[in-house]
Chain A
Amino acid sequence: MLIEEDYITEEGDFVVNIGPQHPATHGVLHLKVWLDGETIKHIEPHIGYIHRSIEKMSESLSYRQFIYVTSRMDYLSAHINNQACALTVEKAMQIEVPQRAKVIRVLMAELNRLTSHMLWWGCTGLDLGAVSPFFFAFREREIINELMEDTCGARLTMNYMVPGGVMADLHPDFQRKVKEVIAQFKVNIHEYDQLLSDNVIFQERVKGVGYLSKEDAISFGCSGPTARGSGISCDIRKLYPYDGYENLKFDEIIEQGGDCWARYKVRIAEMHQSMSIIDQLIDNIPEGDFQAKTKAVLKLPKGEFYQRVETARGELGVFIVSEGGTTPYRIKYRSPNFSNLSALPTMAKGCKIGDLVAIMSTIDLVIPDVDR
């Protein structure tokens, strides 16, 4: 459902421009906010400040090259973005990915989801005025990033997934280090509860704030923890499994609350689920090739191909229209943040400015993914 009556601006309205440079907008998001005292009457998100025309750029890049650009969309789940692209190309060319490569991909994707949720947790604390959680969140995130550096060569924009598998084999120390960091994180995640989740001020700040009904969440096309916090089952890993997620035991976390607290709980529980997936896989990495044999120049058959994956923020869809050449005719990314952002005005209506910050942080916006 759209906003019932579109707010009509009047002369003398108190309008505050939050962003594009603002500590809480997590990037160059510009929100035009109509206020009544501290209460929000209406919000108009203005986007496009970091539009780099990734979709258009990809049209002139080959099927091996266009993957690296997607790391720059949702940079916090770069692996998963790359995976989506690789999966689409594999689907179109019907490449059989070796089992080992699939397991490595899932491991990396889940580690990436963990780092993303850690950063989100830190930023949520930061947005609500507690600075310390940010540093506690970075403690394990840093170790996982170093792990990524060992195997992939980079910390944030990895470009590790390639059509047909992964770019390089795992680092010899990978399994040992992952076990160490997961064991450490299982202890330290209780500090997350002590510092924020159980804190009465934090609970007061997020409970009952930024309500998004199930119907609204569906009509805005929300996905990921934002939609699952409103009680919608939308985990692509469960519904349309890829890369062997169908063989894994994990729960889809759904909360019925629809407020910031529900979204917060979904993400915290997802961290536990990710750790359980990693636990299942880390000792069972099959031997074999890490990459399928592919031709040097990839050519997709003529047609339209779509593949979706579950990033840390929701559903990412990659749509490729191919004319049979070495470059795509058109690429379209269905990014989770764009849809989630569109629900922000509905959620924030009637809340205070302080709540707006809480809502933005629990949607976990990554602005480069909105603009692309």
Chain B
Amino acid sequence: MTLLYSLSGLSYHIQSWLTRLLGNTMAVLVSEMVIVGLCLIGFLVLLSFTLGYMERRVAAFMQLRLGPNRVGPKGTLQIIADTIKLLFKEGLTPTNADKFMFNLAPYIMIITTMLVTAPLAFARNFQIWDLNIGVFYVSAVSSISVIGILMAGWSSNNKYSLLGAMRSGAQIVSYELSIGLSLISIVILTGSLRISDIVMSQQNGWWIFKGHLPALIAFVIFIVASTAEINRAPFDLAEAEQELTAGFHTEYAGMKFAMFLLSEYVNLFIVSALAATLFLGGWMPFHIGSWSGFNHVMDFIPSSLWFMGKTFFVIFIIMWFRWTFPRLRVDQLLNLEWKYLLPISMLNVLLMTLVALLGWHG
């Protein structure tokens, strides 16, 4: 508990100790490039283990099953066993594949997802890079992943992969718009793209409550569109198993496949974290108006727990979608975006502007 409380203090101490030891430039290089990078990789791998386990358990409980329960206590080590299996599998490259692109694609995917984690505020004052265009940065960098998917699909020299990649291209490019618009509707309220500002602006109430109906609509649209953006069911057309066997990663095996898997889970975490930050107050504790006693108890819960709790709540909702709904067809997917989500979110931005102009958002 104490460790969680002093996360910001801890990072500050390490920083000052390194500065004293190595001087400013080297400290930045060592601390930010190496220590933070290693911590991040470790954290994300651990995270994807957790999410993999969580997904299996959630799916199982929704389907009257038990899920993994053999390896380790309650099956917690199953995902580690699977990772070891993937590590030892032969990383095949198809004969007629474009070898350079084929091998590059998983790295592009993983690098993109890791880059996007930079501006996320994991706890109070605990952020890798609090840049002033945080939201815009996330939205911009995350679109690079489509290049990875297209690259994987094209270079595999497999017709299923190609179809999957093309579907994914159309899908991600369209759904970026709705995501962007729903992000903008919150940016209108805060007046800042900086993630820390957005979190701080929710000190006296989260945007989903303070922002009235438009915020709620924006939240729903964001969840739907980001589910499509990260290629998860019911929008998993890029890897539609029953149609395209495995879509763009049909030809990948072993560690390269594991990278796609890892980036899928990390992407899931990122969009959920973003939803939690923008709509549910990030690491801000839950406060109710003037109930100071209640608010004080809420403050006692560490901010990192608040952030993780909210994020996992959103992750659970996205998993819930996946294990309930059938998949859309490719033209229906685009219909949904262009006929429903986009007009509604455009209207919603107008409404939100009205709310902001009238000053109803407190």
Contact between A and B in the complex (any CB pair below 8 Å):
yes
Asked whether, in the complex, the Cβ of B243 is within 8 Å of the Cβ of A353, the reply is yes
CA distance A67 to B233 in the complex (A): 44
**Is residue B240 within 8 Å, beta carbon to beta carbon, of the partner chain?**
yes
**CB <8 Å contact, B329 and A352:** yes
A201 lies within 8 A of B330 (CB): no
Q: How far is the CA of A139 from the CA of B65 in the complex (A)?
A: 11
B328 to chain A: closest residue by CB: A201
What per-residue 1/0 map shows which CB atoms of A52-83 lie under 8 Å from chain B?
00000000000000000000000000000000
Contacts of B63 in A (CB 8 A): 131-132, 134-136
Decide: B329 and A23 in contact? CB cutoff 8 A. Answer: no
Q: List the A residue with the shortest CB-CB distance to B332.
A: A204
| One of A16, A199, A205, A357 near B160 (C-beta < 8 A) | A16
Asked whether any CB of chain A lies closer than 8 Å to the CB of B244, the reply is yes
Whether, in the assembled complex, A244 has its beta carbon less than 8 Å from a beta carbon of chain B, the answer is: no
Choice from B59, B242, B325, B332 contacting A199 with Cβ under 8 Å: B325
Within B136-155, the residues touching A (CB, 8 Å) are: none
| Contact between A136 and B329, CB atoms less than 8 A apart | no
Closest Cβ of chain B to A347, distance in Å, is 16
Interface residue B327 (Cβ < 8 Å from any Cβ of A): yes
A201 vs B327: C-alpha distance when bound (angstroms): 7
B residues 305-333 with Cβ under 8 Å of A?
Answer: 323-332
**Residues in B212-270 with C-beta less than 8 Å from chain A:** 233-234, 236-237, 240-245
Q: How many A-B residue pairs have CB under 8 A?
A: 82
Residue of A nearest to B327 (CB): A129
Interface size class of A (residues with CB under 8 A): 20 to 34
Partner of B64, one of A125, A136, A353: A136
CB of B55, distance to nearest CB on chain A (Å):
12
Residues of B within 8 A of A14 (CB): 159
Query: Is the beta-carbon distance between A354 and B329 smaller than 8 angstroms?
Result: yes
A127 sits at the interface (CB 8 A): yes
* B242/A201 in contact, CB under 8 A: no
Alpha-carbon gap, A160 to B338, bound state (A): 57
Which positions 180-203 of chain A face chain B at CB distance < 8 Å? 195-196, 199, 201-202
B323 touching A131, Cβ below 8 Å: yes
Given A23-B245, A129-B233, A135-B65, do A202 and B331 touch, yes or no (CB 8 Å)?
no
- A2 contacts partner chain B, Cβ-Cβ < 8 Å: no
Task: Check if B244 sits within 8 Å of A353, measured CB to CB.
Answer: yes
Chain B residues near A132 (CB, 8 Å)?
62-63, 323-324
B274 part of interface (Cβ distance < 8 Å): no
Q: Which residues of B contact A139 (CB under 8 A)?
A: 64
- A196 and B242 within 8 A (CB): no
A13 to chain B, nearest CB (A): 11
Looking at B163, B323, B329, B332, which has the most chain A CB atoms within 10 Å of its CB? B329
How distant is the Cα of A51 from the Cα of B55 in the complex, in angstroms? 40
Contact A357 B242 (CB under 8 A): yes
Which of B237, B242, B323, B330 is close to A128, meaning CB atoms less than 8 Å apart? Answer: B242
The CA-CA distance from A195 to B167 in the complex, in Å, is: 26
Give Cα A135–Cα B59 distance, bound, in whole angstroms. Answer: 11
Residues of A with C-beta under 8 A to B163:
16, 38, 353
Which of chain A's residues have a CB closer than 8 A to the CB of B245?
22-23
Closest A residue, CB atoms, query B158: A16
A357/B243 contact (C-beta < 8 A), A129-B233, A129-B236, A131-B59 known: yes
Shortest distance between the CB of B286 and any CB in chain A (Å): 32
A38 touches B159 (CB 8 A): no
Chain A interface mostly: helix
Q: Which residues of A contact B330 (CB under 8 A)?
A: 38, 352, 354
Contacts of B167 in A (CB 8 A): 38
Query: Which residues of chain A from 344 to 372 have any CB-CB distance to chain B below 8 Å in the complex?
Result: 352-357
A-facing mask of B330-345, CB < 8 A → 1, else 0? 1110000000000000
Most A-side CB within 10 Å, residue of B62, B240, B325, B328: B325
Within 8 A of B (CB), among A9-23: 14, 16, 22-23
Q: A19-38: contact bitstring with B at CB < 8 Å (1 yes, 0 no)? A: 00011100000000000001
Contact B159 A16, beta carbon cutoff 8 Å: yes
Q: Which of B155-172 contact A (CB under 8 A)?
A: 159-160, 163, 167
- A residues near B242, Cβ cutoff 8 Å: 23-24, 126-129, 357
What is the chain B residue whose CB lies nearest that of A124?
Answer: B326
Chain B positions within 8 Å of A136 at CB level: 63-64
* CA gap between A199 and B328 in the complex, in Å: 11
Q: Is A130 an interface residue (CB 8 A)?
A: yes
Complex Cα distance, B326 from A136, in Å, reads 14
Q: Kindly report which residue of chain A lies nearest to residue B236, judged by CB atoms.
A: A129
Question: Chain A residues near B233 (CB, 8 Å)?
Answer: 129
- Complex Cα distance, B183 from A108, in Å, reads 59
Pair B326/A130 contact, Cβ less than 8 Å? yes
CB of A203 to closest CB in B, whole Å: 10
| Distance, CA A38 to CA B169, complexed state (A) | 14
A199 to B236, CA, bound (A): 18
B-chain residues with CB within 8 Å of residue A24 when the two chains form the complex: 242-243
List of B residues within 8 angstroms of A356 by Cβ: 243
CB distance B325 to A130 under 8 Å? yes
Q: Which residue of chain B has its CB nearest to the CB of A24?
A: B242
A-B complex: 10 closest residue pairs judged by Cβ atoms? A129-B327, A135-B63, A128-B326, A130-B326, A24-B242, A354-B329, A129-B326, A127-B242, A16-B159, A202-B326
28 contacts between A and B (CB under 8 A): A14-B159, A16-B163, A126-B242, A127-B242, A128-B242, A128-B327, A129-B233, A129-B236, A129-B240, A130-B324, A130-B325, A130-B326, A132-B63, A135-B63, A139-B64, A199-B325, A199-B326, A201-B326, A201-B332, A202-B326, A204-B328, A205-B329, A352-B331, A353-B163, A353-B244, A354-B237, A354-B330, A357-B242
10 other contacts beyond A129-B236, A130-B326, A130-B327, with CB at 8 A cut-off? A14-B159, A16-B160, A24-B243, A38-B167, A130-B324, A199-B326, A201-B234, A201-B327, A352-B329, A352-B331
Binding site for A on B (CB under 8 A): 59, 62-65, 159-160, 163, 167, 233-234, 236-237, 240-245, 323-332
A residues neighboring B (CB under 8 Å): 14, 16, 22-24, 38, 125-132, 134-136, 139, 195-196, 199, 201-202, 204-205, 352-357
